[in-house]
Structure 1
Amino acid sequence: MFESPNDLIILLVVIAVLFFGSSKIPELFRSLGRAMGEFKKGRMEAEMEMQQMMLSQEQKKGENIEELEKRIAELQKQLEELKQTKKA
């Protein structure tokens, strides 16, 4: 029935004219455009928030690794001190 996307668009425009009248069509498409813009904006904000969350998780992992490395260094120092006290 619909061989191309243009056929579907034409059908939708005809239906819109029948239901809303020709004077309401610009308002309808304007509000549709605004809704699409808001949807895109919301999607972009959600993607940015997800990226920030992932970045903060990676930073926390990096901080944990740094903390562990510091703790290991401290333990190695303590071990060396114990070895030296045993020798003395």
Structure 2
Amino acid sequence: MCRNIKTLFNFAPPATEQEVRAAALQFVRKLSGFNAPSKANQAAFDAAVGEVTDAARTLLASLVTQAVPRDRDVEAARARERSALRFAPRT
């Protein structure tokens, strides 16, 4: 579940609202143990996702670095390369 949470800080272009919310959703899913909560827990689940999204947005806006922002396309290519090596068929 948590493998889907990606680093969002120091990228060009910056993380979108959808990316921050998706990371928050994955985090709440991991904490709660629910992939999809029951109707009885839906309100609490949604509230938690909203609060974690707000906290993540605040964190990302507050962080500073001297490093040059990373390029999303380059990082995505590196991730695909690592995945191809990791899941390559064994001979």
Q: TM-score, normalised by structure 1?
A: 0.31
* Structure with greater proportional helix content: 1
TM-score by length of 2: 0.30
The higher radius of gyration belongs to 1
Hey, which of these two has a bigger chunk of strand by percent?
A: 2
